[in-house]
Amino acid sequence: MKNDLINTAELLCLNVPNKISINEFLNTISIYLSYINIVRVFKSPIPNVYFVYMQLKNIEYANILYNTFNYSKVNPIEKEYFIFVEVRELKFEEFFYNGKVKILIN
């Protein structure tokens, strides 16, 4: 496992398959739930996946979760992987396009 260091206490899982419920996702990372302050789920523009935003208690906890689950398999029999990225800024724009709210993540 790589030990990449991230510089924020906020993470986003970019590709949680719709076939996995948010409860199943949280169960997967359950050992680290006590490290997390906030969890938010966002619809993805990518078909059949959703995003999970997490604000952790501190950067150290974010690094532990990131290095444990980034590029880990969704489950042993699936080909999909969880991909986590650090979030430096999360903005909600107040305009709509095609009837949907635009969310900007840097």
Report the SS3 class of residue 1: coil
User: pLDDT per residue over 90-106, tens digit each?
Assistant: 765 544 455 555 555 55
pLDDT given for residue 67 in this prediction: 95
Could you tell me the two tokens for 39?
Answer: 């969890």
Q: Could you tell me the pTM of the whole model?
A: 0.81
- The contacts of residue 103 (CB under 8 Å, 6+ apart) are 42, 90, 91, 92, 93
Burial state string for 77-91 with b = 16 or more CB within 10 A and e = fewer than 16:
eeeeebebbbbeeee
Domain ranges of the chain: 10-105
Pick the CATH number of 10-105 from 3.30.70.330, 3.80.10.10, 3.30.9.10, 3.20.20.80: 3.30.70.330
pLDDT given for residue 32 in this prediction: 93
pLDDT given for residue 88 in this prediction: 84
Which residues, given as ranges, of the chain have pLDDT below 70?
A: 1-3, 91-106
